[in-house]
Structure formats: C-alpha cells, structure tokens
Chain A
C-alpha cells in the first residue's frame, strides 16, 4: 500500500478542487455500476416476483437446472480450449510474422475482425457453416473433396418398383433366377430428366441359353403402365448388377446404354439378382455443423477468427520489446532457432502471454452474441453459455429476475479472480 502522496501539492491547492473533475464520472459509476452490483447480490436472494426472501434457493436451482448445467459445461469447454488455442496460434503467428516484410499488412488483416460487431461476425460464420453445400462454403469444400475421392452414385434415391428387398448391400430379388430366365427390373423414385443422355429406349431381351438376361429401366412415364416397358421409357445405363448365391457374389455385370445386362456362363442352380446399394447412394451433403453435436466447436472457431489478431498484435508488441542481445547471444552459442524460441523467447515473453491469456479468459466468460447469432434456435440450448442463459432467464422466455440475478452474481464471481489479477498487475507496475 502506498499511502504517501506521490504528487507534491502546490501551496494553496485543496483536495476540494478534485470534486468537479470527479463528480460526473463518479455519479454515473455509482448509480449504474456499483449500486446495481449490490442490488443484484440482494435480488438474487429473492424469488421471481422479488417479494419473497428465498435464501440460497436461486443458487441451488441454478446448479440443478439442466439448461444452466449445459451452459456451465460449455463455459468450461470454452475456457479450457479457446484462450489457450488463441494464445498458441497468436504466439506462433507473431513469431512467424517477424520473418516477413508484409507483417503490418498481415496483422491488419487478422486484426480486422476485432473492429466489426460480434453480431456481424456471427452472421458471417452462420453463412460459412450453413448446412446445404450450395450455401455454406465449408460443406461445399467438403463435398467437393469427398466426391473427388468417391464419386457420388448415378441414381441417388432410385429403387425397384416391387419384388425386391432392401438390405445393407443393396436391393435383392425375392424370387430366384436361373439360367434361361429373363428379368425385367423396373426402377422408380428417380426423375426422367436426370437419366444420362446416352440412355437408349429400353426393350426386353430375348431369353438366352445358359444365360440370365435382363433389363433395368426407369418405369416412369406419362401414360405408361407400371411394370411394363413402354416405348418412351429408357433403359438405365451403368447400373451394377450382381448375381448372388448363398450370400456370395458369383457374377457381376453392368447395364448397357439400353439398360440390358447379361450373366453368361452361370452354372446351373439358382441365383438371386441384386442391385448393389452403391448405385443409389444419396450424395454426400457435408456435415451438420450447426446441429447439436458440432455447434460449440463451430462457435469457438469463429471466436478464434475474431481474437487471433488481438493475440498476435499484443504478443508481437511483447516480442519487439525482447532485447535482441539475448537472442543473438544464444545464437552465437550455437543454439538452434527452436532452442532460442523455447529457452529464451518464451520465458522472456511469459508475462505478456499471461496477460493475453487472462484477457481472453475474461472475454470467453462473457461470450454472448456469437452463441445468440450462430446457434439456430433449435440448438441454442445445446450451445448455451452462462451469459446467454442469464439473458434468457431474466429477459427472454424465463422472466425470473431472481434466478437471473443469481446467474449474474455467479458470472461476477467467475471474473473476480481476473479483477484481482488486474489490480495486482496495476499495483506492481506503479511501484
């Protein structure tokens, strides 16, 4: 404690002169910050109407309410993952930017998200992670990469009209086939417009000796009759067809442009014709980023996007304050760049890293807008955090200001250590 005045008072100066300077700020702070703090504390011991004293019941309810517990869990995930990630990424990028000439431009680009509202950032990332691949860029990229390695099927959603049982492996015929049979295999559930251009009109092949023959066609046409090959109906080219005996695939073929297929040389005995499911697999549509399981990581990623620039700039300022001599001395002694970084830079930088980390933790505890905007209404309870829950309970659907006050006090207690950290740092810097 420094009780001694640090400024010499000129003769005739009176402390009273401070009053007009301090008064406006003090009145506002007292009325709108300090008094509310006390009021919230007291209010948290009363019920929703504010008339009845309920002791600690609001706090007990808070810690047993499943929605609030989800919010707690998410806050823990946020605090554990997000500030460390941003500090780490910020440190790496800050060190790397020291090696490039366009460091200022780079930092400007990464700092830019700090200038825009969390609401706008939320919209930006809602769009980035939008589920349909023709709106959200992340899913568009995922689908593109996926289709490059495993092309999507030609006839998604198509299925045999009847007489086939869907299994994991595909549609398998209920009736067995034997050599000399001709199989007509009408498919439905697919739009004639999507049939490949090379498809020819379908026709039923003549029975062949010792062969199983058949045709696969799209049995969808105006005025056509179900199960019959009508003149304007086309065969479906490129469909894989398998002959299965006792669970084993004994022959495999693909339909031609007219939809016909042939299994030659089938040994005597019965086979079951199967259309493998790969023909009809629905296309890969990407991941449900905004669904209940991925929503918190998604929102954290957007926060990383926002805060990394702050970390880089703060850490870069710290880096430039490190005496070059210390680094050079280590290099002259033969230390590798990694050793210099690990043994000299990091220790000298650790006070700065701590300040960045604490600042980020405070920011994370108060996270509100990002969750509010990015999480669709249906998964907001999954993505919930304390600050959002406090608003919901007090002003949103809840309308319980007793419970809301309890949550506010809990938030206050959570940032209180940071408060002490700041005060201690301030005192140290002054002495």
Chain B
C-alpha cells in the first residue's frame, strides 16, 4: 500500500535522470530515510557533549558528584543558577572574564588595521620585493607559535611587557597577521582594476584610494577576518599561559588551576567553561556566515 503511495509522489522525473525500475526507486526512498536518520543521529551525537556541560553547569556540587547530568530529566528541580552567581561573584574569575575582552578586542582591531594597510600595499602598490614579501607571508601562515615563545618572553622581559595584557595582545597580533594579510590580500587583489585606476586618474592619493575605494568594497572580507581573529584570540590558552600573569590572565588560564580536582570541581569547571563559551557561541550564531568564510578563506592556522 505505502509503496504505491510512494510511487505516485515521485513520478515527476528529474530532468535528465535515467529511468529506473520500481525497486531501485523504492530503495532510493528508503536510502534517503536512512540517510536522514543517520545524519540526525550524528547531529545529536555532536550536541550531547555540549548539552551535558550546560546541564552540569546548572547543577550544584553535591548533585554533580552524586549523579550524572542526564538524571536531570527525572529531577528538573535540581537546576539552579547558583554556580553562575558564585562564579560571577568570584573576583578573580570575573576579572579574568573581563581580561579576555581586554585582550581579544585590541588584538582584533590591531590585526585588522595593520593587515588592511599591508594588504593594500601588497595588492595595489608596486614596489621591489613585493612578490617575495607575499610569499613570506604565505609561508608564515603555518608558523608554530612555539618557535617564538622563548625569544619573545625574553624580549618582553627586557621591555617590561612580560605578564601584561599589552604583551599578550602584541603576541596575538604578530601571529594573527600572516593569516589576516593572506585573507585580505586575496580579496583586495580581486577588486576590479578599473575601480582603482579610475581613482588614480582622478589624482587620489593611495591613502584616499585605500579608505574610499578599497575598504568599502572589502567589508565582507574584513567582517570575516574580524570574527575569525576575535574568536581565535578569545579561545587562546597557550599564549596567555606563557605571557600573562595572574592579574592579566584570560578565563581559560584562570580556570586551569581547578583542573587538578576535576571530579569534585565539575560544577565550577563546567560553569567556567560555559561562561567562556557564551561569547564565542553568540558570535558564531549571529555571524556564522562570516566565520565560516574566514575559516575557509585560507587553511586554519
């Protein structure tokens, strides 16, 4: 019975599709159902770990030690915002949350500004060694930051930047630049030459062309870069682990000390981790198109 119904519904042939027997059409139908089911399961599989963390962050210490987060389905009354209230009231953690902003915002702005300027020169001003310079930037894309940790720590020590937010920001700027320049240069180079030449004929200076012609056109690329760089810095742990001190530590580093006693600290760690995730998740959901483009624009770092 159902087979007949299925057949009727798919009788409109897709243009150019080969004629198939009834059996293979039914198989295709079933296959499609199986694919839907499989992918739905995969999606659930991907969401469950995050959901578990969220629920754990909403249960108090004794509940988390006694039973797993999944028991919440039978005991929803256990849910509480107390962990968050406690964490926000904790001066050190709250300061680290703010520090994450103080680090991520300037590091993003500086990278976007510096990379835009450099990318303009690399794509539209002729100068000797331009090709070589571009290739060097491409080469630096995959540079491991470990290479710079020890020397820059010494350098920062000499300039009094070690253990400061400024130091952390500068390091992020340096290692954000190659990707940023790579992404923007590719986009700038794709701007129609007529646009630039016309402005030059009108006698516009390079600065004016950059500001009035290139930047407005490049908004989508700059948006991608901004989102990508902000999340990259926000999510960092290694750089801050080396260059930040207790007062300038971002939230990832501040929470690290709690890792030792994981089993009994689940309430605190889950809450802290989720607090640190709220900003990236919001940015991701609102600007996902730009973020995905940013990630795809070049290889990830």
Q: Does A391 contact B (CB under 8 A)?
A: yes
Contact B138 A423 (CB under 8 A): yes
Interface mask (B29-61 → A, CB under 8 Å = 1, otherwise 0):
000100110110011001111101100100000
Q: Does B120 contact A (CB under 8 A)?
A: yes
Q: Is the interface of A mostly helix, strand, loop or mixed?
A: helix
**What residues on A are CB-neighbors of B135 within 8 Å?**
423, 426-427
Contact B235 A119 (CB under 8 A): yes
Q: Does B26 contact A (CB under 8 A)?
A: no
Interchain CB contact (< 8 A) of B238 among A134, A305, A369, A422: A369
Q: Is the interface of B mostly helix, strand, loop or mixed?
A: helix
Binds A, one of B5-13, B85-93, B218-226, B261-269: B261-269
**What residues on B are CB-neighbors of A125 within 8 Å?**
49
**What residues on B are CB-neighbors of A358 within 8 Å?**
299
Say yes or no: A331-B18 contact (C-beta < 8 A), given A3-B131, A369-B237.
yes
Q: When chains A and B are docked, how far (Å) is the Cα of A218 from the Cα of B75? A: 34
**What residues on A are CB-neighbors of B153 within 8 Å?**
395
Q: Which residue from chain B places its CB closest to the CB of A29 in the assembled complex?
A: B177
**What residues on A are CB-neighbors of B272 within 8 Å?**
123
Contact A377 B148 (CB under 8 A): no
Among residues 278 to 301 in chain B, which have CB atoms less than 8 Å away from a CB atom of chain A? 280-281, 283-284, 288, 291-292, 295-296, 299-300
Contact B273 A387 (CB under 8 A): no
Contact A412 B144 (CB under 8 A): yes
- Nearest chain B CB to A318 CB, angstrom units: 10
Among residues 35 to 56 in chain A, which have CB atoms less than 8 Å away from a CB atom of chain B? 35-37, 39-40, 43
Interchain CB contact (< 8 A) of A29 among B50, B125, B174, B262: B174
Given contacts A33-B148, A119-B237, A119-B276, 8 further A-B contacts (CB under 8 A): A13-B125, A39-B150, A115-B284, A117-B252, A120-B276, A126-B269, A331-B17, A404-B149
Binding site for B on A (CB under 8 A): 1-3, 5, 7, 9-10, 13, 15, 17-18, 20-22, 24-26, 28-29, 31-33, 35-37, 39-40, 43, 93, 96-97, 99-100, 106, 108-120, 123-128, 130, 132-137, 140, 305, 310, 313-314, 317, 328, 331-332, 334, 355, 358-359, 362-363, 365-366, 368-369, 372-373, 376-377, 387, 390-391, 394-395, 401, 404-405, 407-409, 411-412, 415, 418-419, 422-423, 426-427
